[in-house]
Chains A and B, each alone.
Chain A
Amino acid sequence: MVFLKRINRKLNFVILVAVVAAFFKYDFFLPVSAVAAPAAQETSVEGKIRVSGAWALYPMMVRWAEEFKKIHPQVRIDVSAGGAGKGVTDALSGLVDIGMVSRELRPEEIKQNAFYIPVVKDAVFPTINAGNPVLKEIFQKGLKKKALQDLWVSGQNLTWGQLAGSTNNQKIRVYTRSDSCGAGETWAKYLGAKQEDLKGVAVYGDPGVAQAVRKDKTGIGYNNLNYAYDMKTGQPMDGFQVAPIDVNENGRVDPGERLRTKQEAIKAVLSGSYPSPPARDLYLIAKDSFKGASKVFVNWILTDGQKYVEEVGYLKISAKQIKDALDKTGK
């Protein structure tokens, strides 16, 4: 009797081990969904491409990876975020093949043989609550750069009335980004400072600032293009408006400076009537150069991949920039 019990226990144990081993060995959790039959345009590229870096480029890279995999189903692309700094460190130490960077590269980084090319443009816009007391005046007159500097750099306690030239005496609540990010750096650059000098309550992440402004009628913040406008409708996100900047300082908002919809914003950036910064290029970086599968990927991004750029919510870089980049990576 005891003998039988022992066998029973051993058997249970063996079965348990077998199950666990099977679970680990095979992905039998995952129902394989059929991938649409790929039209192999060129000889299929194989291998692994690892990408990491800036949040700003993350949605775009994910889309590019997916589209590229449709054409080259043998390729495995892993995309993770973690910030532009991580992207640079990972790329320069060889941990990833491609790094995503949402800011200008620093001299120390370039010295380490950083090889970078721009792939899309992005822009940061000042955002205010849709229920802002002086909304109309702001839309008419726009915000002057000096006012923005007063708010974010010198940290003065202005009221909305002072900003818009009315009698409103509600204090402006300034928001900024708490995490070191390309958006913050770019916005600060535009105002002539560094991100660490920006004043205001710092919230984490682009959606964080958007959320803060959305809930605060007297709030003002800044967001990337994608986070300021709804991706589908092109209108500013719910509860939100984009405040136009009076770039030429003529006291009113000219048609070229209007930022009421995403289309207008894109036009303003591409035509140059919205300054750069806070519009900026986003880069891909590698050590020395892109090799192998990643080289094919990058070349594809610069050519066919560009057609997904606006769909995902970014701005295209100029044709000249594309040509330069393609020359740089070599064919």
Chain B
Amino acid sequence: MFKGDLLKKRQIKEFLALFSGRFVLIFINTLAFLIFCGLLLKAKPILHAISISDLLFSSSWHPMKSEFGLFVFIISTLEVTMLAMVIAIPVCLLAAIYLSEYAGRCFREFARLIIDILAGIPSVVYGLCGVLVIVPFVRAIGDFAGISTTGYSLLSGGLVLAVMVIPFIISISVEVLRMVPQPIRECALALGATKWETIKYVVLKKARRGLLAAVVLGVARAFGETMAVLMVVGNVAQLPSSIFDPAYPLPALIANNYGEVMSIPLYDAALMSAALILMFIVAIFSLTAHYTLSRIGETIER
């Protein structure tokens, strides 16, 4: 009878665990849904006032005249994030590979400490440092290349974002790479591959899913970063014609104006709709990333 009781207890525990697992997930989804609904509610007035295609595709942003075209901001957001990713991804990947494959344990932990500290720096500080260091740097590059720029530009925004996103991607990438089982590497080496070939053909393949997750997390962070970007990007509501031109991403738009326009419902609604559009962009991006992964063949859940 002792055995029977124990089995029952374990079964009950198992059932409770499954139940609370489902419950917690439903809770999280409900929470997200509530946030989404809340935003939608606040954005409704604007959707009644102008059509969706106007909101998304018009380049004219004059809230006082009730013109709310977000096209410029959407493009700016995409451009600045893409620029940041182009800079950040190669750097992160290479650094993560080095840290997990070539570096000794002490150096690795030390490097991780430094990178974690980078992750904890407040965005205001990044912004201040960006203004002090990156803006003059970009201006100098511009002068050198013969382009007139104030330094407050797409490039500055991209650089600052890249630095902010790097710690996240590296942290998770290193974790992912470290967890690739050692026997796999040994197999490849036994077959005559060099260390680099092992990494290139075996380790990276195995870690693909995790690495992509790291990149997606980094990109999502880049999309959502507000303060640091708005201090260096120039905030001009025009499509930038080069990376030395100022740009105006969506989070900057929200942050610049939110405190002031709470008393004007239509402007407020427009900003909330900007937030919704941003969430939508992140969703599309995340879906694309996962879809690509499943096409490559990493469907097996290991």
Chains A and B are bound partners: yes
Interface residues in chain A, defined as those with a beta carbon under 8 Å from any beta carbon in chain B: 82-86, 88-89, 92, 106, 108-109, 171, 173, 175, 178-181, 194, 196-197, 199-204, 208, 211-212, 215-216, 219
Asked whether, in the complex, the Cβ of B231 is within 8 Å of the Cβ of A202, the reply is no
**Chain B min CB distance to A22 (Å):** 27
Asked whether, in the complex, the Cβ of B234 is within 8 Å of the Cβ of A201, the reply is yes
Asked whether, in the complex, the Cβ of B256 is within 8 Å of the Cβ of A180, the reply is yes
Give the CA-CA distance A178 to B63 in the complex, in Å.
14
- Chain B positions within 8 Å of A85 at CB level: 258-264
Does B230 sit at the interface, judged by CB under 8 A? Answer: yes
**Chain B min CB distance to A208 (Å):** 7
**Chain B min CB distance to A133 (Å):** 15
**Chain A min CB distance to B15 (Å):** 29
Beyond A202-B234, A203-B234, list 19 extra A-B contacts (CB 8 Å): A85-B261, A88-B263, A89-B263, A108-B264, A175-B150, A178-B235, A178-B252, A179-B255, A179-B260, A180-B260, A180-B261, A181-B260, A197-B62, A201-B152, A201-B234, A202-B256, A203-B231, A212-B152, A216-B150
Does B131 sit at the interface, judged by CB under 8 A? Answer: yes
Most chain A CB within 10 A, of B61, B151, B256, B262, is at: B262
- What 1/0 mask marks residues of chain B from 248 to 279 whose CB sits below 8 Å from any chain A CB? 00001001111111111000000000000000
Does B64 sit at the interface, judged by CB under 8 A? Answer: yes
Given A85-B263, A108-B264, A219-B150, is A204 in contact with B62 using a C-beta cutoff of 8 Å?
no
**Chain A min CB distance to B140 (Å):** 11
- Chain B positions within 8 Å of A197 at CB level: 62
Give the CA-CA distance A216 to B143 in the complex, in Å.
13
Asked whether, in the complex, the Cβ of B235 is within 8 Å of the Cβ of A201, the reply is yes
Does B148 sit at the interface, judged by CB under 8 A? Answer: yes
Asked whether, in the complex, the Cβ of B256 is within 8 Å of the Cβ of A201, the reply is no
Interface residues in chain B, defined as those with a beta carbon under 8 Å from any beta carbon in chain A: 61-64, 127, 131, 135-136, 148, 150-152, 230-231, 234-236, 246, 252, 255-264
- Chain A positions within 8 Å of B231 at CB level: 203-204, 208
The closest CB in chain B to the CB of A216 belongs to B150
Asked whether, in the complex, the Cβ of A179 is within 8 Å of the Cβ of B234, the reply is no
Give the CA-CA distance A201 to B259 in the complex, in Å.
20
- Chain A positions within 8 Å of B152 at CB level: 201, 203, 212
| CB pairs A–B below 8 angstroms (15 shown) | A83-B259, A84-B259, A84-B260, A85-B263, A85-B264, A86-B260, A89-B262, A178-B230, A179-B255, A179-B259, A180-B261, A196-B63, A204-B231, A204-B235, A204-B256
Give the CA-CA distance A197 to B237 in the complex, in Å.
10
Asked whether, in the complex, the Cβ of B263 is within 8 Å of the Cβ of A106, the reply is yes
Given A108-B263, A203-B235, A204-B231, is A178 in contact with B150 using a C-beta cutoff of 8 Å?
no
Asked whether, in the complex, the Cβ of A86 is within 8 Å of the Cβ of B259, the reply is yes
- Chain B positions within 8 Å of A173 at CB level: 150
Asked whether, in the complex, the Cβ of B64 is within 8 Å of the Cβ of A201, the reply is no
The closest CB in chain A to the CB of B262 belongs to A89
The closest CB in chain B to the CB of A173 belongs to B150
**Chain A min CB distance to B250 (Å):** 14
- Chain B positions within 8 Å of A180 at CB level: 256-257, 259-261
The closest CB in chain A to the CB of B238 belongs to A199
- Chain A positions within 8 Å of B252 at CB level: 178
Q: Which 7 A-B pairs have the closest CB atoms?
A: A83-B259, A180-B260, A202-B235, A85-B260, A178-B235, A89-B262, A194-B64
- Chain B positions within 8 Å of A171 at CB level: 148
